[in-house]
Chains A and B, each alone.
Chain A
Amino acid sequence: MTTVEQDMSEPRTTGQVAARCEGLRKVYGEGETEVVALDAVTVAFAKGRFTAIMGPSGSGKSTLMHVMAGLDEATAGQTWIGETELTTLGDKGLTRMRRDMVGFVFQSFNLVPTLSALENITLPMDIAGRKPDTAWLDTVIDTVGLRSRLSHRPAELSGGQQQRVACARALASRPEIIFADEPTGNLDSHSGSDVLAFLRMSVRTMGQTVVMVTHDPVAASYADRVLFLADGRIVDEMADPTADRVLERMKAFDPASAKEA
Chain B
Amino acid sequence: MLRNALRNLLAHKLRLLLSGAAVVLGVAFIAGTLTFTDTLNRTFTSLFEDTSADVNITPKAAFETGLAGTGVTSSESSVPESMVAEVAEVDGVALAAGFVQAEGVYLLDRDGEPVGTGGAPGIGTSWAETDEQLGIATMVEGEPPVGRAEIAIDTNTAEKTGYGVGDRAAVLTPGPRLVAEVVGVFKFGDDGGTAGAAITAFDLPTAQEVMLEPGQLSGISVISEDDVSDDVVADRISDVVGSGYDVKTRAEQVEDGAAALEEELSFINTFLLVFAGVALFVGSFLILNTFSMLIAQRTRELALMRALGASRRQITTEVLVEALLLGLAGATSGLAVGFGLAYALKALFGQIGLTLDGSLRLTVDAVVWSYIVGVVVTVLAAYLPARRAARVSPVAAMRADLVTHSKPLRTRTLIGVALSVVGVAALLAVTLPEEGSGLLLALGAACLLLAAITLSPVLAVPFVRFVGVLLPRLAGKTGHLARENALRNPRRTAATSSALMVGLALITGFSIIGASARASVDELVDDALAADYVVSTAIDQPFSPDLADDLREIEGVESVTQERYGVALVEGEQDFFVAYDPATIEQALNVEMASGDVQGMAGNGVLVYESVAEDRGFVIGDELEFVMPNGESAALVVGGLLDDNAPIGPYVMSLETYDSTGGVAVDRSLYVDVADGIDAAAVKAEIASAVDAFPIVDLKDAEQFKDEQRGQVDQMLMLINALLVLSVLIAALGVVNTLVLSVIERTRELGLLRALGMSRRQVRRLVRLESVVISLYGAVLGLGLGIVLGFTLIRFLRADGLTETAVPMLQLVLFLVLGGVIGVIAAALPARRAGRLKVLDAIATE
Which chain A residues have a beta carbon within 8 Å of chain B's beta carbons? 66, 71-72, 91-92, 95-96, 98-100, 104, 106, 108-115, 119, 123-124, 126-129, 154-155, 162, 169, 186
Contacts and interface: CB of A to CB of B under 8 A. Distances in A.
Given A109-B752, A126-B476, A154-B401, A95 B485 contact: no
Dominant secondary structure at the A interface: helix
A98 B757 contact: yes
Q: State the 6 A-B residue pairs at the shortest beta-carbon distance, nearest first.
A: A99-B757, A126-B477, A114-B484, A155-B403, A108-B400, A98-B757
Contacts of B760: 91, 95
A126 B401 CA distance: 23
A132 to B, nearest CB: 12
14 contacts: A71-B840, A95-B757, A98-B756, A109-B752, A112-B749, A113-B488, A113-B749, A115-B484, A123-B753, A123-B756, A126-B477, A127-B757, A127-B762, A169-B756
A98 B403 contact: no
A97 B478 CA distance: 19
Interface in B723-778: 748-749, 752-760, 762
Nearest to A123: B756
B756 A109 contact: no
B480 interface: yes
Nearest to B405: A155
Contact of A124 (B487, B748, B757): B757
Nearest to B754: A95
A99 B756 contact: yes
Contacts of A114: 481, 484-485, 487-488
Contacts of A109: 400-401, 748-749, 752, 843
Contacts of A66: 840
Contacts of B478: 127
A109 B750 CA distance: 11
B839 interface: yes
Interface string B463-502: 0000000000000111011001101100000000000000
Contacts of A98: 754-757
Given A66-B840, A106-B843, A126 B752 contact: no
A26 to B, nearest CB: 12
B481 A112 contact: yes
A92 B759 contact: yes
A113 B401 contact: yes
A124 B756 contact: yes
B493 to A, nearest CB: 13
A91 B480 CA distance: 24
Nearest to A72: B840
Contacts of B487: 114
B652 to A, nearest CB: 70
Contacts of A95: 754, 757-760
A66 B484 CA distance: 29
A127 B758 contact: yes
A73 B549 CA distance: 92
A71 B839 contact: yes
B481 A115 contact: yes
Nearest to B478: A127
A92 B758 CA distance: 10
Given A104-B756, A127-B477, A186 B400 contact: yes
Nearest to B487: A114
Contacts of B759: 92, 95-96
Given A98-B757, A109-B400, A109-B748, 16 more contacts: A71-B755, A72-B839, A95-B759, A96-B757, A98-B754, A104-B756, A108-B401, A109-B749, A112-B749, A113-B401, A114-B485, A114-B488, A127-B753, A127-B756, A127-B758, A162-B401
